[in-house]
Chains A and B, each alone.
Chain A
Amino acid sequence: MNFLSPISLFLFGLAIPIIALYILKLRRRREPVSTLMFWEELFRERQTTSLFQRLKHLLSLLLQLLFLALLVLAIARPQFAFITKSARQLVLIIDQSASMNTIEEEGEGLTRLASAKESALRTVDGLRFMDEMTVISSHTQPVIHIPFTNHQKSLREAINAIQPTDISTNLEPAYDLADAIAETKPNPEIVIFSDFQSISEALLAKLNSKTEADEAPEIKRRLIQIGEAKDNVGITQFRVRKSLVNAFDYQTLLRVVNASETERKFNVELYFDENLFDVRPYNLAPGESKSEIFSNFAFEGGKLKAVLDVQDALPTDNTAYATLPKRDLIPVLLVTAGNPFLQKALAVDEQIKLTVLTSTEYETDVLPVSGNSQEKQPYQVVIFDRYSPPTLGDGNYMFIYPPAASSETGNPELKWNIGGALETPIITDWERTHPILQHVHLENVQIGTAYQVTPPSTAQVLARSFESPVLFIDVTPNRKIVFAAINILESDLPLRIAFPVIIANTIQWFQQRSEIQEHHLRTGEVLKQRIESVDATIQPELETETDSPPDTPKLAKITGPGDKTWEIPIERDELLFDQTQRAGFYELKISEAVDATTEDAPAPAASELTEEDSGTVWSVNLADETESHIGPDPAVEDLLEASVTPGGTAILRYPPWVYLVFLAVGLSVVEWFLYQRRRID
């Protein structure tokens, strides 16, 4: 036994005054009585056991000395070796994945996570003196909520602070972290609270393994299963992509799985901006999954939501979210000296926002911006009709019979060579399967004027005559070019049906490779948003119209499920947001922040929004079929302890000095009682 404060043992010297005071005779009150004969007789009876009287007298002194000894020992704070050696270091892993939201008791609405937290709190209650505990929560990534401590209040607060998530299960990183922590401790113990509905083979192997190194402490492992197998159906996929057949349309994939032991019939309700627009009946056999694709939406730019009209144990996967992008008009610039056929062909397409400029206007107004490859192209497609710009930025360009002189200016970006003129060439071959020439017949097209052209080595010829390529494309990482070597004003091509088809196909081809900006994440994934793209996507006109200085600090305000909001100051050109634990819509708004301390307002608010934009909506889904199977993994059954709840009562829950103080107080009560009853003098 050691003492943390051995100097306190000098307090045993207080026994001296106690004994001295005890030796001193008690000052008794004088009380006259008329006769002593009754008192004499009374105490003659009582004094028959004089030895006992002396012992009683001594007992009082012994009780007081024992009281002093207990207090002094308590102040000296004794430490016992057997307590120190038996002290445990517990690492609690609490699974907070989506399946832990399963409601186990429907009446009380108690989820598996709540049950796990209750079990963990009981473990805290069972902590002994000198035991330490750390708490790790886990979904796909582990989070240490509190380092090793024996402060039970802090441990309880840490456990209670664990919130449910809609993230998939992956206990292995948490276990690896716990294992690494435990290896440094003398008497470690890892306790995992989980439903174990999904456990990897690697983790199973680790749980089955024994500590090989003799010098390393053996890590005790306890697996506490929470919950039991229950029926469930869930949405495992709900995602929007661009249509493969129509560049201006979207497709939505919906996948539903029945993870129950019985057949389930239910409806899937589809909402757009919270308005029901479709209901699909589903009838799934046990274990069956069904996928369905929706397209040809009559609406655009909003929130899609799929809801399973079913009551099951896990509500989390009964709802899925997606964002349907807005079909923005394609800004197209036509630089021409006048081409009514081309203008009409472009104007007929509703998806196109056409701007027509002359070459002079183009060089004056647009070229200073678009010619710089570092600047973002304001037009998605630029068509040069019998014109060749002196410089060429990144983007999509269509050259129609550009003048041969353009090659002589030495523009290195134009890598084709224009040769001599061709008289009435005949198109002999064309790529019928290429998107640009789909549904197009170029037989017998009368071409008045064309020229020979030598395409760059990276080009793909789509149509050729006997003499030379007539139509080719050149695709580089930053630039897509369609080159037509014919003067359409001197051909009958504009009069054919093929002409508007080619133009439409070309515009579509330009757009096809440009993926839609998918605002879709799985729960737990990091939301990454480039700030420039946000501005360009949301309000492209603000780029040129804003009067704010370029270095004005910006603020991202994100509104998540349940109207939970985050305000994140943007310090770089990319926003990273990792609080996507819950499934739902996350609306991101970028605004300029004004430091309130510079204003007259006395309140020192950190920032406030000055102007709000329309925002970008991200959809976050669980989208994990494994998580929808909420029954325990059979592989883990051998490792499970049959519902053994750790904790409960613990001996030596408090340090020894507490018990000594309690003993001293109890002793003083006994002494007081004995004195009051005159059992002792």
Chain B
Amino acid sequence: MMNDTQSAFDSEFLKKLEYLYIVSKKIFAGRIKAERRSTRRGVSVEFADYRNYTPGDDFRYIDWNAFARLDELLLKLYEEREDLHIYFLVDASQSMTYGGELPKLIYAKRVAAALAYIGLSNLDRISITSFNNTGVNRLPTERGKGKIFTVLDFLDQINGTGETDLENAFHNFVHTTKRRGLVVLISDLFDPSGFTQGLNVLKFQKHELFVIHIIDQKEAAPDLLGDYHLVDVETDELRQVTINENHLKRYQALFQQYCDDMDLYCTQREISLVRTTTESPFEELILRIFRMGGFVS
């Protein structure tokens, strides 16, 4: 695993990060750096709305002109400007270690690192959380481009162990996270109990959700024919099967159905979803994410 980690962030990778940052600047040209309109109302120079005065409000925000015309105490509300919190949730279950030359976990680390680097460069606040059924491991919120190495160190230390339990993991996350923000979930979403419960937890906490679904090509279209003992890498559960062509076709249909259900779920709940295989270069995935516009809006 150490080898995998080291290979995840080599010098070549760091060059690609800088490249992605420059490209992202072009994509986000005209937008204000490090600024993001918050839905929260607060103190700023930009008027947002009125509301009735209630006892205890600060008198300084009463619009006396309106009082003169309408004879009502109305408070002027201004949009509050705040830094964006981006939470990266990286699946660290054993299933993420599956894959040939490039396991899904390595791929997920690279994607998280790239997006975090761009976020740090935009002066966003970045937090990274790895999770499995045993719990979560969290990197506190970091801000500024110089924290990238802290992020990389944290990512390096993530190992794929345990099973996938999205619901419990996300409950732990939301209970320890007070500020809402953009939650970037990087996972294969192979939860035996389903992915919806976990995503619902995040969605109910009004986090803006962005899902990066990483799969291995052999998971989408296995080339197994014959007699096998299939071993679940998370549970070590054995399944004795004899696989023929029809089985493979049926498997692919089931897997496609799973993906389609996921797409439908995300669409209905306005969740951005990107699906990729580990064979696809991660930088292409990053650019695709930017072009989708759902990651930074």
Contacts and interface: CB of A to CB of B under 8 A. Distances in A.
B241 interface: yes
Given A38-B255, A39-B251, A677-B244, A33 B231 contact: yes
A41 B227 CA distance: 18
A681 B216 CA distance: 29
A39 B239 contact: yes
A513 interface: no
Contact of B231 (A31, A38, A681): A31
A32 interface: yes
A37 B226 CA distance: 19
Contacts of B228: 28-31
B234 interface: yes
A297 interface: no
A622 B250 CA distance: 85
B98 A678 contact: no
Contacts of B232: 32-36
Contacts of A678: 242-247
A42 interface: yes
Given A31-B224, A678-B247, A36 B254 contact: no
Interface string A24-53: 001011111111111111110110000000
B93 to A, nearest CB: 9
Given A30-B228, A31-B224, A37 B190 contact: yes
Main secondary structure of the interface of B (DSSP, over half): mixed
Contacts of B190: 34-35, 37
Contacts of A33: 98, 219, 222, 230-233
B250 A45 contact: yes
Contacts of A37: 190, 192
For B224, B231, B232, B240, the residue with the greatest tally of chain A CB atoms inside 10 Å of its CB is B232
B237 interface: yes
Interface in A423-477: none
A43 B96 CA distance: 24
Contacts of B98: 32-34
B236 to A, nearest CB: 9
A34 to B, nearest CB: 4
Interface string B110-129: 00000000000000000000
A35 B236 CA distance: 10
B167 to A, nearest CB: 16
Given A29-B227, A40-B239, A678-B243, A35 B95 contact: yes
B213 to A, nearest CB: 13
Interface in B248-283: 250-251, 254-255, 258
B160 to A, nearest CB: 10
Nearest to B194: A37
B60 interface: no
Nearest to A678: B244
Contacts of B245: 677-678
A678 B228 CA distance: 13
A43 B224 CA distance: 15
B142 interface: no
Nearest to A33: B230
B244 A43 contact: no
Contacts of B26: none
B229 A31 contact: yes
Residue among A34, A43, A46 with max Cβ neighbours from chain B (10 Å): A34
B188 interface: yes
B247 A30 contact: no
Contact of B233 (A28, A29, A32): A32
B95 A34 contact: yes
A681 B96 CA distance: 33
Given A33-B98, A677-B244, A681-B242, A39 B230 contact: yes
Interface in B7-62: none
A383 to B, nearest CB: 117
Contacts of A40: 239
A479 B235 CA distance: 132
A36 B230 contact: yes
A681 B226 CA distance: 10
A29 B229 contact: yes
A41 B256 CA distance: 13
Contacts of A30: 228-229, 231
Contact of B227 (A26, A42, A43): A26
Nearest to B224: A31
B226 A43 contact: no
Interface in B192-245: 192, 216, 219, 222, 224, 226-235, 237, 239-245
Nearest to A57: B242
A522 B244 CA distance: 81
A301 B184 CA distance: 126
Given A33-B233, A678-B246, A39 B227 contact: no
A30 B239 CA distance: 10
Nearest to A38: B254
A34 B188 contact: yes
Nearest to B93: A34
Nearest to B228: A31
Nearest to B235: A36
B216 A34 contact: yes
Nearest to B240: A28
Contacts of B192: 35, 37
B91 to A, nearest CB: 11
Nearest to B253: A42
Contacts of B233: 32-34
A34 B93 CA distance: 10
A35 B230 CA distance: 9
Interface in A33-87: 33-43, 45-46
Nearest to B225: A678
A318 to B, nearest CB: 75
A678 B98 CA distance: 28
Interface string A670-681: 000000011001
Specify which of A32, A35, A40 lies most central, judged by the most chain B CB atoms within 10 Å of its CB: A35
B192 to A, nearest CB: 5
Nearest to A681: B242
Contacts of A677: 244-245
A678 B233 CA distance: 26
B231 to A, nearest CB: 5
A29 B251 CA distance: 19
Contacts of A41: 254
Interface string A585-600: 0000000000000000
Nearest to A676: B244
Nearest to B188: A34
CB-CB nearest 10 A-B residue pairs:
A678-B244, A34-B98, A35-B190, A34-B95, A28-B227, A36-B232, A31-B228, A32-B231, A28-B229, A30-B229
Given A36-B239, A677-B245, A678-B242, 10 more contacts: A28-B228, A32-B98, A33-B98, A34-B98, A34-B219, A35-B232, A36-B237, A38-B251, A677-B244, A678-B243
Interface of A: 26, 28-43, 45-46, 677-678, 681
28 contacts: A29-B227, A30-B228, A30-B229, A31-B229, A31-B231, A32-B98, A32-B230, A33-B98, A33-B231, A33-B233, A34-B95, A34-B96, A34-B98, A34-B216, A34-B234, A35-B95, A36-B235, A36-B237, A37-B192, A38-B251, A38-B254, A38-B258, A42-B247, A43-B239, A677-B245, A678-B246, A678-B247, A681-B242
